[in-house]
Amino acid sequence: MARSPIDVLQDFLLNAFNPERLEDAVARLVADDATYVSLSYDDPDLALIMPWAGTKHGKDVFASNFRGVTTRWTNDAFEIRETIEEGEKVVLFGSFTLRSTVLNKSVTSAFAVFARVRDDKIHYFLYMEDTFATARSFLESGTWVFRADPDETEPIRIS
């Protein structure tokens, strides 16, 4: 019996952050030719920090991307707060708290997932989070200097 697209996507997400259940979740719930978009369509600088960033194709990408996430962070909390379903399209909104494994820095971020699910398989997966916050969990030292407001003479410095 076919499951709802929301059930399939929630099943995947609730298992994807567990290295012991990840491979099974990918095998059961991801189409062979699925597309995975994480954080941006293509940002080589971001991919240096988070190698899963960008657009990738194939079932194996889902396993390797979530393996990369779970080796760099521990997932202290994950909560799905809102869901929207329209036919094969699903949107989930929520929050998570991650702790970087190298620096032990904790960060809480909102997240959003848009997916297309057909025949109990994810065919398209777009994942967004607060990359400014999550990248800072990897910042070992130094200061980021920003200039955004044309009326301000001093840059913003964040350590």
Give the distance from CA 133 to its chain's centroid: 13
Q: Are 99 and 59 in contact (CB under 8 A)?
A: no
Q: What is the pLDDT at residue 92?
A: 96
Q: What is the mean pLDDT of residues 80-91?
A: 96
Cβ density class 72-97: b for 16+ within 10 Å, e for less: bbeeeeeebeebebeeeebbbebebe
Stretch 84-95: mean pLDDT? 97
Strand partners, 118: 121
φ, ψ for residue 157, nearest 5 deg: -120, 130
pLDDT of residue 11: 96
**pLDDT surpasses 80 at 1:** no
- What pLDDT is stored for residue 66 in this prediction? 93
For 12-53, what is each residue's pLDDT tens digit? Answer: 999 998 989 999 999 999 999 999 999 999 999 989 989 999
Position 2 confidence tier, pLDDT thresholds 50, 70, 90 = confident
Domains and CATH numbers, the chain: 5-158 (3.10.450.50)
Q: Which of 96, 108, 94 is nearest to 137 (CA)?
A: 108
Cβ count near 136 (within 10 Å): 16
Kindly report the pTM of this predicted structure: 0.90
Residues 107-148 pLDDT 10s: 999 999 999 999 999 999 999 999 999 999 999 999 989 998
Assess whether pLDDT exceeds 90 at residue 84: yes
pLDDT of 159 over the 90 cut:
no
pLDDT at 10 exceeding the cut of 80? yes
